[in-house]
Each structure stands twice: as structure tokens, then as C-alpha cells.
Structure 1
Amino acid sequence: MPNDCISYQKSGYFSKLIIDYLAEKNELKPLYNHFPTLANFKFQLAEKQANYNSANRKVLVKALEEQYRNIAVSEETQFNIQKLSESKTFTITTGHQLNLFTGPLYFLYKIVSVINLCKTLQATYPEYHFVPVYWMATEDHDFEEINYFHFKNVKIKWDNNSTGPVGRLATSGLEEVYEVFAKDLGVGRYADELKKLFEESYLKHSNLAEATRYLANALFGDTGLVILDGDDPKLKQLFAPFIEQELVAQTSFQKVSETNNNYLSSYDIQVNPRAINLFYIEDTIRERIIFDDNRYFVNQTDLSFSPEELRQLLASHPERFSPNVILRPLYQEVILPNLCYIGGGGEIAYWLQLKSNFEAFNIAFPMLLLRNSVLLTTEKQVQKADKLGLRWADLFSDQQTLFDQKTKEYSLFNLDFTAQKAHLQKQFEALRLMAEQTDKSFAGAVKAQEVKQIKGLENLEKKLLKAERKVYAEKLERIIQLQNELFPNQSLQERRNNFSEFYLESGKTLMEKLYQNLDPLSPNFTIITL
């Protein structure tokens, strides 16, 4: 079995910003508080305890009790909800969209990362209590991002119209999706479990928020996971003063823009702030709030408000204001006694834009931890890799690079002409010196001849490589076939495949192995054989 480790930095699947963050580059240190190490949590604990408004705990617990009122709650989750009222209880949080049937595999990895980090922290800091939280992105309105999942090579899609927050979207039409999925699953013990899970989640709950809560609770409830819906009037009331500041002072635009310009000019910017980073929401609408000519307008509608009218609306209906991607993290940290946010590379990238904004609002900035990334394999695939002499690093390689590298390894000849090209360049260096000492007009002719001969060697190298590929075509095809199985569309498995594909074969063993193997503080890909 291949036993080499693949670090996130060397995997080829993360941006320069994330690679530099993981390397703790000095130029990025102003963008985060404490780097996520076990020892650093003691500093984060002290800061959050001093900064967090303890009065929010009572409101948070009451809101969670109401959100869970129509669902069977495990003793572990109920215990954690009640513990949130105590001053020494803190959360570790991840967030995710309401993807149909969890969407890609990394939904599981995010939540298991949160659960396992809480276990590690509990053992290290036993005087505190740590609660894993999944924040449901119920207020998102991009339905096209969440209305499907891939099962094997089939895209199972929910055709519906949605213009408002997806959490409030009725689950009508999912009966047809269930029929398609059930047929593709076939028969068998685990197939029946998956059918029942889909049916209980989506066909017996009226909206997508309730369906997703049921699904996540069914998968993780026995671990004590707490599932939170931010689309809640009580919780929005806690955030109302920050909403008002955003409407009046437009703080976020100024602070995030400064961060982008001062620290992130050499990186790809994940998100750009707007003048006002809030939406107006109702059941079928979520549109930007725009300030112009001393009035507030709701984009794509006839709604408009004077400053005083909008303040009155905020006081009476805070639930009609929804933070965008810039302000949602602030909302989360206002209402939760949170220490650390666990997210994917894209999420951590935009969180790194936000620290100065948190400081402007006087809210403690959480630690930022890259979620675990996982490659799931079968015993058969591992045996194939062994037989082909592959390391995991080989399989993570770019496909063309892997193709060429293995051709050179298998060939009986040396297909790398680097030495010959270096020797040729040395000879031409001598010719250049001779030309300079005799007739400098020859220098151009010498350079042209050098370029021609180097190009000739490169062409010969390519032809020999192509010829050798034909000799080892069958073996190379097996390598590429294995890589395609593990990296669909030459991308990470976790970004495409749905958990049901693996649960169908392994059942609860899948979840057990995730709990056993995922170490949130490890900087390496986790490779699990099912």
C-alpha cells in the first residue's frame, strides 16, 4: 500500500493564498488572530470569554430549543444546547449551503472536522466545554448551486424555481427526485437505508431548512452536533445594532477594501465588498439594499425607505435583513461563543479579508482552520496502485505530468535530455566567447544556431517519449484509469462525489472511519480505505 503523505501545500489543489497561510507567511499575519494550534486555543478562549456578550447565551439557547421543537433530539445534542447557557462553554463552527442530500463529500468532512476538534479540545482543556456547530446557510438564494448532487456518474437534479432564501423553499417536487434516486440505488440493505434517509428528510418536511436539519441530525445527532439556522428573528435582534451601523456608516466596505488593497493585491480576491453588505429578505425575495439620494432602495423591487423608516423596520422586523458573505461571519461570531471557524480553502480565503472589519465592530476574530480533506479508496484500488508501483503523490499529480513521468520510469532508455541540452549550451557558450573576441557580428548567428539545436533536441525528446508511450500504452492506460476513478474530471473526489455512493457499499463504516481518521490539526490529506 502506498504510505507517503500528501500535504495540502504540495497537493496542487489549493490557492497561493491558502498555501501561504498554512506556511504562516509574515505578510499575512495581520489578517488573522491566532494560528490554529492546540496551544493557541488558550489565548482564543481568554479573548472570546472577555469579548462575548454573555446575555446572548440565553437568547441563543431559546432560539435553538424552538428550532429543534419538531425533531427528535439526541441526549448529546440536548446536553450541548443547555451547556451553551454556561460561561465556560464555547463552540467550534462550520457552515455549509443546503445542498440536496448534502451535495459533495466535503459536507461530511467539514462537520466531522468540527466534531473531532471538539473532542481534542475537551481532552486538552477539560475545565471548559466545547460544542460542535453546523451553521445552515438558509438565507442563501443561489438555488442553482445547491439543487443537485452526483451519484456515481449521474447528476440527480431538483427542477424548481426559487427567488428567495433557500431555507424557506417548499420541498414540493422532490418526490420525482426521490423516484430517480431510488431507482439508481437499486436494492440492498444500505440502499434501503439511503432511500429511507432521503424520504424522511425531504418528503416529510415542508421546507428545505427543516429537511436539511433532519438530514444532518440523522447523520451526526448522536455526536452532539448542534445545527443552527441564522434565519431567526430572535437571533437577528441580537445583530440589529450591527445591521444599523452597516446601514449608516458602511463600515465593512471601507475596512475590507483597505485589507484587499494593503495585503491581498498579489492574490486572487475571493469576495469584494459592497457599499452596503445587506439584503432585504422575505419568503420569495432576497435582494440587495442600496443607498442613493438619502433613501434606501431594495434592488429589483419598488421598495424604498427613508433612513427613519428603515430604522423602524429594523426595530420591528430584524428578520427582514440578511447579511451577505462579508457580514455573515460577523453575525455568526456575535451570536455564538465561537473560537474557531472550520472551512474549505475558498471560505478561509474570504475570512482572511475580514479581520479589520471585526475589529471595527469590536468583535473577537475567530481562529481559522482549513477543514480536513479526504481521499476515499477501496482495497481493490490500493492493490492496483501497488501493482503499478504508484505512490499517492503520483496519483495527485497533473495527469499529463503523471503520464510523462511514468513513461520515463518504465522506458529502458534515458528519455530526459537535460544533460545533453546542458552540454550543448556549454559548447555554445564557448562559441559566443570566441565570437566576441573575433567578430561580434557572429553573436547573432551563434545564438540562432543554439536555439535551433536546442529545439531539435526537445523535438527528438518528445518523439522518443511519444514512441515509448506506445510501447507501455496498456500499463499507462491502467494508471490513468485508476487516477480518473479517484479524481473524477481530474479534480478532487470530495468536490464532486456524494456520500451515498460510498455509503451504498460501506454503510456506517464510512462514518466510523471518518471519525477514527480525521485529525483537524493535521496539514495532510487523509487517505481512507473502505
Structure 2
Amino acid sequence: MEFECLDIPPASPVMAAYKDDEQFINTYFDYKPDDTGYRERLSELDGREFDRDGLCNAVRAFMEPLGISERTAVHLEELRSGAPVVIGGQQAGILTGPLYSVNKALSVILEAKRLREALGRPVVPVFWIAGEDHDLAEINHVNVISGCRTEKKQFPMVPGLKTTASATRFDKDLMSGFIREVFRSYGETAHTAGLLQTAEECLEGNETFTAFFAALINRLLGEEGLLLMDAADPAIRQLERNHFAAMIRRSEEIAQGTAETEQRFSEDGFGRPVGAEPDAANLFYVEDGERFLLSRKDGRFVNEQAGISFTERELLDIAESEPERLSNNVVTRPVMQDLVFPVLGFVGGPGEIAYWALLRPAFRALGINMPVVIPRSSFTFVTRRAAGLLGETGLDARAVLGGAAASKREELLARIHDHGAEEEIDRLEAQLAEGYAGLAGKLEGKGRGLPALAGLNLEYHSRQFDWLKDRIRESVMLEHETALSRFDLLEAELLPEGGFQERKYTPFQFMNEYGPGLFRDLLRAAPDRAGIHLLVRI
């Protein structure tokens, strides 16, 4: 395994500002992502109270069926005894979903390890799973390389299903067959059978998206002591009762502050990542596993489409007696996370950091500061096949990530295109059109519809000329198919559909080539700096 740190331009204006503009950080965040910021945040956390026993008991209960490693047990006790956490999270995709889920977990582990050494005290890595999310279309598929392109393989589900990831059960045999189909697309290697067995073992007793995801992440990274929790866990909900009540009482302040900040954010040229509304409640009501977003109207909390309406007192009673019937949205989830966990640093991707920039008023409404916000790292894996293609095309991976494969393909097409033949066809077509124009003139007045008939005959010949051009192009493409396919396959490997691997392929795509220890080895050898993009040759 070899590493190269790539100087990739920031993914968005927000990330460029977060990286280079101190005023941007001072405007939208509470702490700079540096040692001073961490120490200031640590001082704030030391002055706050958390239900550490309840939290650790809930996390342990969630993880025990998955298996608790020795390091995980140590981290649980450190959290119980006063350690802060570095935290990040993601939705529960099949086979862990796209690589960025694991990239976040790796970034959390690396930053917690770095801060443990820098601060001289325990710092615990935590990964929360967005089990309360109900957009199943975002997590019910896997992308694979098929030929020279990316192919989406979708797990069959009931259309229109809106239950949360933690409440949605799937047919185990159907999922097993789906996973086997995905692995057939990966191709057979010395590691395939073992990885498939791992996936099958993680299916046992874990027949919701959240449970299956948690089992896989724990199998991959459990030895690193990564703590896992489900944001929809009823035990966690019990810890959130008083915090839900505070959010209900402060709902108007949270909504107005977020909307005003987003307005300024937009005026500063960064867009509207949330679409915040002043009348939003920023909470969901859960019924039969389905979430309904609430708004505030005439002093009530409502979802008019679903016919749901509560007074503030009724919603406060639900928070106290049935907190599992409430759920956070994109605005209140980060705040709830910070109220339940002693968060030293939050690891997020570009999209998350964009909407976190709006949330300082929401944190302040609950009497707390935002944690340090840490850009996650990215990893692009160069397989043996990709390395071979780089050698054959004379490109390097950095250039491909910048779009060079597509450019080189277009250059090759321009060189091999038979312009001479097409120009001769165009000349013949022009001559024919001129001749038909003369013919149509002579047919004027000779018979009803004869000029139009000549025009139709010309159209027929024009279609034949187009057909001939297409056949010539196909013949040229076929003759140079191997050379052209190298560029297509190189893009499918390194820049699928114009985006980074991490947004398309699962970790199993690359473990199938390297082996099950890919990410453990990466953790031991990778630099522990946050927010970098590493090229990893495997």
C-alpha cells in the first residue's frame, strides 16, 4: 500500500472559505479547527454535564449483539469517566453504502487518535448511524463497475415505502441473493469467498438496514475501538427527553435564527443548503415507523398533509412520556448530538459543513456552543487494473481525477474520425439537393403533388446518407475500440460518472482485490491529518 497526498481543489466555495478564510469561520462557527480551538472547546465541555452512565449503557446495549472488542470496551469506560468524543455519522447503506461512509469513520478514528496524543487525555471515536432517516431510495442500491461504465444495482423494495432505516425490515434471503449478485460483478479473487461469508454472517439477526450496516462497520473497524450508536435507538431517545422539550420550547428561536443565518449565507454567495423556514418546527413526529415533519402554525405544531396537530403542551407530554415518537431533522440533529455526547469535534463532508454553517443560532438557543468542525478525509484507490490502464494511456491518477481521461478520449476520437469520407458524403448530398431543387422546379404545374413527392424522395436519400455516416463512424470506433475503452474504464475506476469513487463504490469493491484488512492497514499507515485527499495504491 502506497500513499500520495493530492492537492485537490475544494469541493465548493464553502469548503474553500472554511479552508482559507478566517473571517468565514468567525462568522459562522464557534471554534477554529486548530489546537487553540480544541483546547477552548475542551474547556467548555469540562464545564457541562452529560448523562455519561446512561449514554454508555445505551451504546453498550446497542453494540453487544455486534461484539465488543477490547479497545471498544476501554473507550466505553473512558467515555463514562469523562472523555470527550470525536463524532461523525452517515446513513445505513447496503454493504456500508458508498466509500464516504467508511471515509468518515476512518477520519473520526484518526482525528480522535491525533487529539488523544496532542491533548494528553483520552478522546473517543464515535460513529452515529442515521437510523431515523426515511429516504430509503438513497440507501437501497449498490454501484459496481460493469464493462466500461458504472451500473446501479437496486435492491427490490415496496414502492413508496417511507419507514425509517431502523424500522424497515428486508427479506434476508432476498438480501443475500442481492449481495451475491453484487459480488459476481466484482469478480472472483482470493478474497471473494471470505468477504462474502463476512457479509452473510453480518446478515444473521440483522434484518434492518441499520442493524446490517452496524454489523458490517463493527466487523471492519471494531478492533479500532469505534463506538457505534443508532440515532433512532429507543434507549438514546430516553436520554433525549429533556432536550426534545427544550427544542419544542425554543422552536421559534431556532427556526428564525437558522433562517436569518441562511439568508446571510446566501447573500455571501454560498447558497441555501437547508431552505430554512421561519415557521419550521425542525422536528418530526413518528407514527408506525413513518416520520412526519412538523411546522408551527397558529400556536400549534402541525403537518397539515397528514392531518397531524399538537399544542405545545401535547408535544411536551409526548417528549416526556414517548420520546421515541419524536425525531430530529437536519437542523436539530447536530444540536441533539451535542447535548447527548460531549462532542469535541464533528467530522463532516462538504455538504454537512455547508449546513452546519447555519446552525450557530440553534446551538445558542439551547445554551451551548458548536463543536470544532473537521473536514473528513477522502481516499481514491488505485487498483492493479487502474494502475495498468494508467501505464497504457500515459496518464497519472491525479490527471484522471482532473478529467484528463475524457479529454484524451476526445482527442483520440478527433484523430481517428474519417473526415474525408464524411466530407465526400456531404458533397454528394449537396449535389443531390441541388439536382432535386431543379427537378422540383420543372415539376411545378405538371401534376398535383409532384414537387412534394420529389422533396420526400430527397428526404429518403438524406436519411440514407446519415445512415452511411453512422456506419462509417461505427466501423472506425470498432477498429479503435480497445484504445477508446481504456479511457472509459479508467474513468469508471477512478472518476465514475465524473465524481470521486467515494460517492459510488462500496468498500467491498476494493477489499475484494486487496483483502479484508484494507482499512485496518490504511489506518496504521495513513497520515493523521484531517481533510486531506489520499491516493492509495493497493
Structure 1, 248-257 or 317-326: larger mean CA deviation = 248-257
Structure 1 residues 400, 214: CA separation in 2 closer, same or farther (over 3 Å shift)?
Answer: closer
Instruction: Give how far 1:278 is off.
Output: 0.3
Q: What is the match of residue 428 of structure 1?
A: none
- The equivalent position to 2:529 in structure 1, one of 504, 507, 521, is 521
- The equivalent position to 2:89 in structure 1, one of 84, 95, 118, is 95
- 8 Å contact from structure 1 (residues 98, 138) kept in 2: yes
- The equivalent position to 1:78 in structure 2, one of 61, 67, 73, is 73
Q: What is the match of residue 464 of structure 2?
A: none
Q: Write the distance in 1 (CA, Å) between the matches of 2:388 and 2:208.
A: 45
Residue 323 of structure 1 aligns to which amino acid in structure 2? N
Residue 125 of structure 2 corresponds to residue 117 of structure 1: no
Residue 127 of structure 2 corresponds to residue 134 of structure 1: yes
Q: Write the distance in 1 (CA, Å) between the matches of 2:395 and 2:511.
A: 27
1:184-210 deviation line (CA, Å, top 9, x unaligned): 535554222222222222343243332
1:382-415 deviation line (CA, Å, top 9, x unaligned): 35435644344421223588439988xx9xxxxx
Q: What is the match of residue 403 of structure 1?
A: 408
Report the TM-score, using the length of structure 2 for normalisation: 0.78
Structure 1 residues 69, 85: CA separation in 2 closer, same or farther (over 3 Å shift)?
Answer: same
Structure 1 residues 119, 282: CA separation in 2 closer, same or farther (over 3 Å shift)?
Answer: same
Q: What is the match of residue 492 of structure 1?
A: 500
1:470-525 deviation line (CA, Å, top 9, x unaligned): 9x998777455423431111211111011111111111342234213443525542
- 8 Å contact from structure 2 (residues 108, 126) kept in 1: yes
- 8 Å contact from structure 2 (residues 18, 24) kept in 1: no
Structure 1, 309-318 or 110-119: larger mean CA deviation = 309-318
Q: What is the match of residue 60 of structure 1?
A: 55
1:338-372 deviation line (CA, Å, top 9, x unaligned): 11111111111111111222122112211111111
Instruction: Give how far 1:75 is off.
Output: 1.4
1:118-157 deviation line (CA, Å, top 9, x unaligned): 221222222x111111101010011111111123334332
What is the DSSP-based 3-state SS (H/G/I as helix, E as strand, rest coil) of the residue aligned with 1:168?
Answer: coil
Instruction: Give how far 1:4 is off.
Output: 7.3
Q: What is the match of residue 272 of structure 2?
A: 269
- The equivalent position to 1:182 in structure 2, one of 180, 190, 199, is 180
Structure 1, 209-218 or 513-522: larger mean CA deviation = 513-522
Matched positions, count: 464
Instruction: Give how far 1:379 is off.
Output: 4.0
Residue 157 of structure 2 corresponds to residue 160 of structure 1: yes
Q: What is the match of residue 419 of structure 2?
A: none
Q: Write the distance in 2 (CA, Å) between the matches of 1:480 and 1:159.
A: 29
Q: Write the distance in 2 (CA, Å) between the matches of 1:322 and 1:267.
A: 28
Instruction: Give how far 1:179 is off.
Output: 1.4
What is the DSSP-based 3-state SS (H/G/I as helix, E as strand, rest coil) of the residue aligned with 1:277?
Answer: strand
Instruction: Give how far 1:237 is off.
Output: 4.0
Q: Write the distance in 1 (CA, Å) between the matches of 2:386 and 2:311.
A: 64
Q: What is the match of residue 19 of structure 2?
A: 22
Structure 1, 278-287 or 513-522: larger mean CA deviation = 513-522
Structure 1 residues 478, 164: CA separation in 2 closer, same or farther (over 3 Å shift)?
Answer: closer
Residue 165 of structure 2 aligns to which amino acid in structure 1? V
Residue 62 of structure 2 aligns to which amino acid in structure 1? Q
Q: What is the match of residue 334 of structure 2?
A: 329
Structure 1 residues 525, 68: CA separation in 2 closer, same or farther (over 3 Å shift)?
Answer: closer
Structure 1 residues 377, 318: CA separation in 2 closer, same or farther (over 3 Å shift)?
Answer: same
Structure 1 residues 68, 2: CA separation in 2 closer, same or farther (over 3 Å shift)?
Answer: closer
Q: What is the match of residue 433 of structure 1?
A: none
What is the DSSP-based 3-state SS (H/G/I as helix, E as strand, rest coil) of the residue aligned with 2:527?
Answer: coil
- 8 Å contact from structure 1 (residues 375, 526) kept in 2: yes
Could you tell me which runs of 5 or more consecutive residues in structure 2 were left unpaired when the two chains were aligned. Answer: 416-476
Q: What is the match of residue 449 of structure 1?
A: none
What is the DSSP-based 3-state SS (H/G/I as helix, E as strand, rest coil) of the residue aligned with 2:6?
Answer: coil
Q: Write the distance in 1 (CA, Å) between the matches of 2:60 and 2:502.
A: 33
- The equivalent position to 1:258 in structure 2, one of 257, 260, 280, is 260
Q: Write the distance in 2 (CA, Å) between the matches of 1:400 and 1:152.
A: 17
Hey, which bits of structure 1, 4+ residues long, moved more than 6 A? 1-4, 404-407, 472-477
What is the DSSP-based 3-state SS (H/G/I as helix, E as strand, rest coil) of the residue aligned with 2:292?
Answer: strand
- 8 Å contact from structure 2 (residues 281, 301) kept in 1: no
Q: Write the distance in 1 (CA, Å) between the matches of 2:237 and 2:397.
A: 47
What does residue range 244-323 of structure 1 map to in structure 2 within 5 Å? 244-249=245-250, 250-265=252-267, 266-274=269-277, 275-323=280-328
Q: Write the distance in 1 (CA, Å) between the matches of 2:385 and 2:193.
A: 25
Q: Write the distance in 2 (CA, Å) between the matches of 1:83 and 1:76.
A: 10
What is the DSSP-based 3-state SS (H/G/I as helix, E as strand, rest coil) of the residue aligned with 2:306?
Answer: coil
Q: What is the match of residue 214 of structure 1?
A: 215
What is the DSSP-based 3-state SS (H/G/I as helix, E as strand, rest coil) of the residue aligned with 1:279?
Answer: strand
Residue 140 of structure 2 corresponds to residue 144 of structure 1: no
Q: Write the distance in 1 (CA, Å) between the matches of 2:16 and 2:333.
A: 25
Instruction: Give how far 1:283 is off.
Output: 3.5
Instruction: Give how far 1:91 is off.
Output: 0.6
Residue 387 of structure 2 aligns to which amino acid in structure 1? V
Instruction: Give how far 1:311 is off.
Output: 2.1
Identity, % of aligned positions: 25
What is the DSSP-based 3-state SS (H/G/I as helix, E as strand, rest coil) of the residue aligned with 1:134?
Answer: strand
Q: Write the distance in 2 (CA, Å) between the matches of 1:517 and 1:264.
A: 40
Residue 510 of structure 2 corresponds to residue 502 of structure 1: yes
Structure 1 residues 481, 219: CA separation in 2 closer, same or farther (over 3 Å shift)?
Answer: closer
Residue 349 of structure 2 corresponds to residue 341 of structure 1: no
